Amino acid sequence: MSYPSIIPSPWARRTGLLALGLATLLPMLAGSMANMALPALGQAFAAPFASLQWVLVAYLLGITSLTLVAGRLGDRFGRRRLLLGGVALFALASLLCALAPTIGWLIAARVLQGIGAACMLSLALAMVGQLVPAAQRGRGMGLLGTLSACGTALGPSFGGLLIGGFGWQAPFLLLVPVSLLALGAGMLGLP
């Protein structure tokens, strides 16, 4: 599928960059905040450490198994459509994580969250070229790279604060409205 080289208006470009930035930041936050939740999850579910590790591994399996496939599916069915679908799945899976009544439910929801994250990460990078002029693509890619690193670095601190103040569900709940913001911005600003 070929994509037009029409550059959107400045407002649409900023809104689209917000969507792509959040689509890069959120998966990294989700991965690094969950590390901080393991002790609280162990208490809440009375689960052994081996089961708790699957909360992290399930997310990574979702991301790694679909990252390459997501790029190809985006080329075939539309990058915007698949990116927005990934954001919606990520938001739903984050809510399912927060509502998890058992460790098995949480692990299954983390797989879904990882699948949504794979679509978000791979297609956000692919869409920068459609969103910004060629002279500014380096800046756009740099912005996404910076947000990815920030998500990884800030996740443990935010996760620890949220869990300490509001319980293990808080990091997952935080991801829901921010994901919905990304979804709205993407619907408005992505070509």
Largest separation between any pair of C-alpha atoms in the chain: 55
* pTM, 2 dp: 0.92
How confident is residue 133, by pLDDT bands cut at 50, 70 and 90? confident
Give the distance, in angstroms, between the CA of residue 69 and the centroid of all CA atoms in the same chain: 16
Written as one letter, the residue type at 118 is: A
pLDDT band at 126 (very low <50, low <70, confident <90, very high): confident
> For residues 129 and 7, what is the distance between their CA atoms, to the nearest angstrom?
9
Q: How many other CB atoms are there within 10 angstroms of residue 5's CB atom?
A: 10
Looking at residue 143, what is its pLDDT?
A: 85
pLDDT value at residue 9: 82
pLDDT in tens, 135-187: 777 888 888 889 899 999 999 999 999 999 999 999 999 999 999 999 999 99
| Sequence letter at residue 78 | G
| Average confidence (pLDDT) over 62-88 | 92
Query: Residue 20 corresponds to which tokens in the numbers above?
Result: 């792509």
Which pLDDT value is given to residue 19? Answer: 95
CA distance 153 to 166: 21
